[in-house]
């Protein structure tokens, strides 16, 4: 039963090539290669350095092979919505533009005025965010670059990276759902929506199921199977949630916070649209969630202040005074500011609040504001489901932040279970095991994860002052 699997896990700020080992009853992960700096700014545009990412993935695989490890398979997961366009020969056309690029500014509003939010949401069930693929493509079509008529195929980032290894084109379901172009009932491209936006249907590959082999990476005399796993990193992360209760909520905590529940069918009701909830594809169920602000704020502040580590930043926040100010972290102004700390301070002055004088107080305010946001989303999910959410599972790199975990428990008034940390990579790994027939299904995979990685429990504290903080936040928003 021994399996050795390569998990390529790419986030918005760094990528890892990791080795996952399964001995029949236990799984382990070991990082072999980490790389970053593949988010480029050329002039006014933000893009991904796909050539660099491809080289780094291959280098990480070479490091494993040089160590005498012969992997049974490879799986790749990345962020959603972004894509690469290719010509009839499979060569990239144009740039792999990042979701943080400004080209979609005002596009969502234009599309909604033309087609109506109800029409788009009832078909796709996806949260409206200005960087969704639908709006990126509308911006591109309107721009009409001179190479547009040469486009033959659109592939989302993980599919295209798989294509570079195998030469096989693919369109994996979980990542495709993030586009806001897939019909949530038919689970296929919404042809009428594409037509109304003048986006060529011919660009889109058939949507393929999760957890299947798409080809082989042929290197050094080996043919290593490449598995199309749940290639959207949040789909992989949610696959790795060791739910103690199937009714629990999850938070995938990283640069973004993905907060939601699992449901058999999409909840694309008018109530869900009003709450701006996404129904994204999962391994076996829909991930009904909201994509909200995450540790991007604290990451940028740490970077700007040149604080040596994230743990040091958390320590400063732990020692700082509580509830000094509220930051509405969903404000569009915070998506990609020139200086995060200065943008926050400007916002606080504009809303008549006290401006923190030190990094610890500023970062604590970020964490408290995030925890309050988490509690509001969990309540929304509870009302949408029409049933109780007993507890919350936090996974991903952000679950190492014990201060934020405790603040989440306090704000949400629920038990919080934190772990595993490397959720996307672990989900990637177990999806490969399912595809290879080494693990029966997702239920068995989650049981395996629970037995392989530690989980820490946080209980809500009484009299934690979040009620008063909520009232303060409401008054700031109303003004």
Residues labelled catalytic: 233
Q: Beta-strand (E) ranges in 124-271? A: 153-156, 212-219, 222-228, 249-253, 256-263
C-alpha distances (whole Å) from 102 to each of 105, 143, 337, 363, 442 are 5, 13, 11, 27, 38
Residue written as token pair 């990412």: 53
In this structure, are residues 286 and 294 in contact, taking their beta carbons and an 8 Å threshold? Answer: no
Instruction: Please count the residues of the chain.
Output: 479
Reduced to 3 states (helix: H, G, I; strand: E, B; else coil), residue 249 is strand
Q: Helix 359-385 crosses helix 466-478 at what angle (to 10 degrees)?
A: 90
Phi, psi (5° rounding) for residue 114? -85, -45
Phi, psi (5° rounding) for residue 332? -55, -25
Phi, psi (5° rounding) for residue 297? -60, -55
DSSP 409-475: HHHHTSEEEE--SSHHHHHHHHHHHHHTTSS-SHHHHHHHHHTTS--EEE-PPSS-SHHHHHHHHHH
Which residues have a Cβ under 8 Å from the Cβ of 396 and sit 6 or more positions away?
237, 252, 253, 254, 421, 423, 424
C-alpha distances (whole Å) from 428 to each of 214, 287, 330 are 15, 16, 29
C-alpha distances (whole Å) from 203 to each of 87, 97, 101, 174, 260 are 10, 17, 22, 18, 31
In this structure, are residues 5 and 22 in contact, taking their beta carbons and an 8 Å threshold? Answer: yes
Closest alpha carbon to 235 in 64, 425, 68: 425
Is residue 186 classed exposed, middle or buried when 0-12, 13-18 and 19+ CB atoms within 10 A define those classes? exposed
Which residues have a Cβ under 8 Å from the Cβ of 90 and sit 6 or more positions away?
153, 163, 167, 169
Q: Which residues pair with 261 in a beta bridge?
A: 288
Phi, psi (5° rounding) for residue 129? -135, 140
In this structure, are residues 396 and 421 in contact, taking their beta carbons and an 8 Å threshold? Answer: yes
């Amino acid at each position: 039963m021994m399996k050795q699997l390569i998990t390529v896990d790419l986030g918005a700020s760094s990528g890892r090539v990791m080795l996952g080992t399964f001995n029949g009853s236990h799984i382990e992960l070991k990082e072999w290669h980490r790389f970053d700096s593949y988010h480029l700014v050329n002039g006014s545009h933000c893009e991904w350095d796909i050539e660099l990412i491809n080289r780094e993935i291959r280098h990480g695989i070479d490091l494993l092979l040089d160590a005498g490890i012969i992997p049974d398979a490879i799986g790749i997961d990345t962020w959603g919505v972004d894509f690469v366009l290719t010509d009839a020969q499979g060569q990239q056309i144009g740039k792999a533009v990042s979701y943080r690029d400004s080209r979609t500014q005002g596009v969502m509003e234009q599309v909604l005025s033309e087609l109506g939010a109800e029409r788009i949401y009832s078909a796709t069930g996806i949260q409206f965010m200005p960087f969704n693929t639908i709006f990126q493509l509308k911006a591109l079509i309107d721009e009409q670059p001179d190479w547009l008529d040469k486009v033959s195929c659109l592939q989302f980032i993980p599919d295209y990276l798989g294509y570079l290894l195998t030469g096989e084109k693919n369109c994996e379901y979980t990542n495709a759902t993030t586009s806001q172009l897939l019909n949530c009932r038919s689970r296929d491209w919404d042809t009428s929506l594409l037509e109304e936006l003048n986006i060529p249907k011919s660009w889109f590959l058939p949507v393929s199921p999760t957890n299947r082999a798409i080809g082989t990476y042929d290197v050094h005399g080996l043919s290593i199977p490449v598995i199309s796993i749940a290639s959207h990193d949040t789909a992989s992360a949610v696959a790795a949630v060791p739910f103690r209760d199937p009714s629990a909520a999850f938070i995938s905590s990283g640069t973004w916070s993905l907060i939601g529940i699992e449901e058999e069918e999409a909840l694309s009701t008018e109530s869900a649209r009003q709450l701006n909830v996404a129904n994204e594809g999962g391994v076996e169920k829909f991930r009904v969630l909201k994509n909200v602000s995450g540790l991007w704020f604290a990451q940028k502040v740490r970077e700007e202040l040149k604080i040596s580590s994230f743990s040091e930043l958390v320590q400063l926040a732990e020692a700082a005074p509580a509830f000094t100010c509220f930051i509405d972290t969903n404000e569009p102004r915070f998506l990609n500011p020139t200086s995060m700390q200065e943008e926050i301070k400007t916002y606080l002055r504009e809303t008549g609040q006290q401006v923190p004088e030190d990094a610890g107080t500023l970062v604590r305010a970020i964490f408290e504001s995030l925890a309050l946001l988490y509690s509001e989303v969990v309540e929304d999910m509870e009302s949408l489901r029409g049933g109780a959410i007993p507890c919350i599972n936090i996974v991903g790199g952000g679950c190492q932040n014990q201060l934020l975990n405790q603040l989440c428990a306090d704000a949400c008034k629920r038990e919080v279970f934190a772990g595993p940390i490397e959720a996307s990579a672990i989900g990637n790994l177990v999806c490969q095991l399912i595809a290879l027939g080494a693990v029966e299904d997702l239920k068995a995979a989650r049981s395996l994860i629970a037995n392989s990685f530690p989980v820490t429990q946080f209980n809500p504290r009484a009299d934690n002052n979040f009620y008063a903080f909520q009232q303060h936040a409401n008054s700031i928003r109303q003004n």
